[in-house]
Chains A and B, each alone.
Chain A
């Protein structure tokens, strides 16, 4: 199984809502990533987990809260988002981080709209 799955595919939420994005992989990868991608822009790294521990936080606002319950799952909890947070949120995984040979496998993304 070389697939990264993400749910939901689409999410519409109000600025007062609390929602969560979910990501799952069963490739035995020990590094997992969240990216944010605006239209016609490259993915921007948000968070990196390595061996279930937060390794990199790219100064992301606290209204985004990542969680890695186990080596296969990665969540992104959303609260009090702003309309400018509307974007495609991509999850990715790789065998390990910073190995110098680090191909990342991406999920299809969650299209988030904040009203």
Chain B
């Protein structure tokens, strides 16, 4: 079963622009994670934000978490062609393993 719903499903931007993806979920969580997947390959962990955190940064990535709205956003600043990939949010709840959202496909053109 899917917990997270990403928005938008697809996003096309130019190099240098910022990309924002949103994730909504349904139940209480321990943490929320973002993963990147290049076409047909394995997933790469980007960032984890715990339920008691509101914002986290890692390089060009900024993640926010609003537990009252059950939503999170991933901001990629100054995007590059190499950022082209699918991005998934995943939630960890008590008593279960990670549940992935449907994903956002990001295309960055030069």
Chain A residues in the interface with B (C-beta under 8 A): 4, 33, 40-45, 48, 56, 88, 90, 92, 97-98, 100-109, 111
Contacts and interface: CB of A to CB of B under 8 A. Distances in A.
Interface residues of B, number: 26
A101 B2 contact: no
B7 interface: no
21 contacts: A4-B42, A40-B105, A41-B102, A42-B88, A42-B101, A43-B88, A45-B97, A45-B98, A56-B97, A90-B43, A97-B97, A98-B92, A98-B94, A103-B48, A104-B33, A104-B45, A105-B45, A106-B43, A107-B42, A108-B41, A109-B40
B110 to A, nearest CB: 24
Contact of A109 (B41, B97, B102): B41
A44 B41 CA distance: 15
B12 to A, nearest CB: 16
Given A42-B2, A108-B42, A109-B42, A102 B102 contact: no
Nearest to B94: A98
A104 B50 contact: no
B20 interface: no
Contacts of A105: 45
Nearest to B41: A108
B51 to A, nearest CB: 9
The 7 closest A-B CB pairs, nearest first, are A106-B42, A42-B100, A100-B30, A106-B43, A108-B42, A103-B45, A48-B97
Nearest to A45: B97
